[in-house]
Chains A and B, each alone.
Chain A
Amino acid sequence: MRRRGFLQATGALALAGCTSISAPGRARVVVVGAGFGGATAAKYVRLWDPGIDVTLVERANEFVSCPVSNLVLGGSRTMRDITRRYDGLAKHGVRVLNGDAVALDAANKRVTLANGSTLPYDRLVLSPGVDFLFDEVAGYDNQDRILHAWKAGPQTAALRAQLEAMPDGGVYVLSIPAAPYRCPPGPYERACQVAHYFKRAKPRSKVVLLDANPDVTSKPGLFKRAWQELYAGMVEYRPNARVVGVDASAMTVRTDFDTVKGDVLNVVPPQRAADIALKAGLVTHNNRWCDVDWRTLESKAMKGIHVLGDATLSATGMPKSGHMANAQAKVCAAALVELLNGRDPNPSPVMNNTCYSFVSDREVIHVASVHQYDAGQSTMIPVRGAGGISPARSEQEGVYAWSWARNIWADMLA
């Protein structure tokens, strides 16, 4: 109730074209996108300098976590379990604005929202996530039977419903785009979760993985062992199988070499930085990703705009993960505080990453890394000798993985 009142109040201000909701003379940071990157950046700027005004623009009413969302497909967690509210950010003084940022005006330093209102900023943080290159999969447009479920939300629930409706003996096909894409281990974890569900509920069913990559792109040995030992005969992995077309009425997917029929088709298209980044001219690499200065996360294309998360051109060994976006956001927040106070940002930032993957409802594997800025190479590089993967799957790491989710959600939102 209180949240609704707050949103209506801020909405009314924005509609009135009010551009001075911040106190005069205070530095203004606008953050677009309240995912792992944006929400973390908004909170940490306020934690580290309460003198800076922070407005966080997000089109969704609630946060739905992509990490651990595969457990909803496996049936051991519900959408409720992976959904959190944004109202915890208010106690840090973050103004959360429910709206859709549609355009950036870098010259005049303002963001335009879909309702026509504008937000002025001194520094802009854009954490927009990815959008899909549907054009690269013929037949994908104008159909709703074939889902990606690669942004947690309604498609996650819809894919679960398709799996529940599938008869025993059916075939689930999951296609994986060529790297880089959001969440490198995600597709292989999803295969485990769907197989986990089939093993209990539909034991004659199959999981077919069509991977555009030459091999499993993350923790390959650990995933393959899980498929063999936990889901023997159920998971079929096909490398170098890039999906180039789909037929939603025939329920087939087409690779460069083959046509595969399935009962549930889950096609994850190739990805790029989200539309707003492309429109604003922030995409610098291969028409897909935004190159940034890793000391500040400032765009290399546009001054005063900082890009976080999956939309960035990843440095070597840096996955497009929620944890990585959270780490990038903290480097960005620290730099913003220094820059807006007329000081130099930290010349040698550190980030780390942890990706846990559930290979069953309880057993988990991880990959971890630590990244240090290297002035000579002007980029983040993985610290040699650090990081690694689990020696084997374990229930102990299953406990840590769910704790990881709870703590990182709190770190960004509470």
Chain B
Amino acid sequence: MKHAVAMALALAALPAHAQESPAARSLAATCASCHGTDGRSATQEPVSLAGLPKEQVARAMRAFRDGSRPSTIMQQLARGYSDEQIDLVADYFSRRSR
């Protein structure tokens, strides 16, 4: 347990850029204009994405994309991203602290 905490602290101390793929962070940055840098939104809506479980973001994006989840703009934006891109983005935000 102690060991795990030490590991987590060591990982957190690494510069962010050492932990992530450039492709994922660039894709996620396309969300940041509306959802805040690294998915930390300054507003209630659009919501913060930072720290959300990967599955939750990926499922939401697919639901926007196929229209099963109603939205104003997200259905139009989600249709611009492939399954692979959605998974990369969802994984990236799941690793951000809230």
Contact flag A400-B80 (CB < 8 Å), given A334-B22, A346-B22, A410-B37:
no
Per-position binary interface string of chain A over residues 370-381, scored 1 when its CB falls under 8 Å from any chain B CB and 0 otherwise = 111000000000
Q: Is A169 an interface residue (CB 8 A)?
A: no
- The size class of the interface chain B forms with chain A is 20 to 34
> Which residues of A (326-367) have their CB < 8 Å from a CB of B?
326-327, 330-331, 334, 337-338, 346, 349-352, 354, 366
Which one of A371, A372, A387, A397 contacts B76 once the chains associate, using CB atoms below 8 Å?
A: A387
Which one of A43, A337, A370, A414 contacts B79 once the chains associate, using CB atoms below 8 Å?
A: A370
Report how far A370 CA is from B42 CA in the complex, Å. 23
Q: Is A220 an interface residue (CB 8 A)?
A: no
> Which residues of A (377-414) have their CB < 8 Å from a CB of B?
383, 385-388, 390, 394, 396-397, 399-400, 403-404, 406-408, 410-411, 414
Task: Identify the closest chain B residue to A406 (Cβ).
Answer: B42
**A407→B22 contact, CB < 8 A:** no
Interface centre among A331, A354, A383, A403, by most chain B C-beta atoms within 10 angstroms, is A403
Which one of B37, B77, B79 contacts A411 once the chains associate, using CB atoms below 8 Å?
A: B37
User: Number of contacting residues on A, CB 8 A?
Assistant: 45
- State which of A27-35, A45-53, A155-163 sits at the interface with chain B: A45-53
Q: Is A198 an interface residue (CB 8 A)?
A: no
**A354→B34 contact, CB < 8 A:** yes
Report how far A346 CA is from B25 CA in the complex, Å. 11
Q: Is A44 an interface residue (CB 8 A)?
A: yes
Nearest CB on A from B75, distance (A): 8
**A330→B16 contact, CB < 8 A:** no
Interface positions of B (Cβ within 8 A of A): 15-17, 22-23, 25-27, 29-30, 32-37, 41-46, 72-73, 76-81, 85
Across the A-B interface, give the 5 residue pairs with the lowest CB-CB distance, nearest first. A370-B80, A386-B80, A403-B43, A386-B79, A383-B80
